[in-house]
Chain A
């Protein structure tokens, strides 16, 4: 726990009377990949949005680099070094690919290095440089995911959160994107939180995992030591 970059400690989130997350706790160590897996409606995206300051928790706290960020605004959380690749990419459709990427360096902390980071993003995704003037709304699903990842990288984050990166993409594109995620983690030592429904792929890429079911963490451990039968029971709640 002491070497944790990001700690989610007993976080509960409610939407009116509905409890979307109940006492959720997990942590990510520096340079590690953690996968948060679960069925639709398990509360994964709620937790991600809460970590990013898009929702405020009812109780619990979120600590990033030793600082309590629970009550910080999203822009302050981003400037501290947390970056989100939202579900479905969520590009700025009427803006060009390059403007989308430049939006990633919006925080003051990332602005100085924007030019250099942009070159790095283009090295990682050469196809984006070829399409830099195209409106993002005209790209394919896979290309839009690349824009979203590139945009998140432009913030020079210490921790990257991918919310259901494989949603709606072909297996070949998913494989390609996962390879790039692992490359980002290994080369830049960026900690990564993977939110996924595809357990096999997420566990294959991560060091440790948490399974969420009905708003609670029901199982966690090392990805390499997981018993498939235990995972299945936790995942489906059987």
Chain B
């Protein structure tokens, strides 16, 4: 009896040991990201594909719902030494990561693991956002986008406009005619869209968001919103809002800008090219629409727009094996096939020159529903990045963005004077920046 039991136990142990041998060889590592819904499903698919493509590593991909939460959770996990190997961090969190001492530069990671990546192949406007001031890329560009403007082409035709407006004066003109033609909401506007209405506006007009090249020159940069063209632009937005040509559309009113456009309620809206897929999916059947680069103010030269979205950071404190896995995953992402798949199923743009050229050659951009997305690349690469357009390198920038949302709402809904409000915004932003600087007293900007 006892002998039998012992035998049984021994044999099941042997079976267990045998079964766990292949599993031991596979290294598991974590990837946390801040996307949800459809985009999260796409990432899960991507992870499954990676796991199926090789047998040495297993990536475990976990959605943390949104960018903010992912950054919070990554920090909390890092402090408890339970961090994932890879975390997806949004554009506004870039400097917070850079000074954290918590990451491995992507260049080192890839070269140490024997991958030879042609970094110059990455669009310079994308790479510069995630690079040191000396041009060393720190994180892997991932889901990248830029701001665009979407037009209902039927509404444009109805008011007799041919083509797509390229200046804000033209937008004003068509909006007024649309209103006269009975469209209740010519242009949807959400103050939360600081990224497209303020940051991207500043970039394409080559206006500084902050001094020292938007902070690339050092932690003592100061906000510059009240000193440039944005004063005029916000004054104009206020005028448009008061005239009923810009209509407030947001989560709080019950219909977002994108939804109001897709539902045919609003005729124009400005947002990320990543929304291109969503508009396609949500558009009511009779909607005819097109997308264009952000309009310019009359009489100004266009410069490149900023990349938005997020990049992938490799965090310190993991094993060599896990880093090998992470490098293999990054290499997998960079394959042309994978890059094209990702751009197809989301609205995000390819991040490399060759990726883009390959897609162009395949005829990806020639027909609906992807036609128009190439304009995002055009906007991003319109000029080589200037001091004001290579990115935003400001500490706690998410807070500063939130202050800008408040400022715009104050101007629009409370009739606060534009110039004074923007001066107050700059002062508030400077306080946030000085506090960040004091927190990282001895840190050097890489």
Whether both chains belong to one complex is answered with no
Binding site for A on B (CB under 8 A): none
Binding site for B on A (CB under 8 A): none
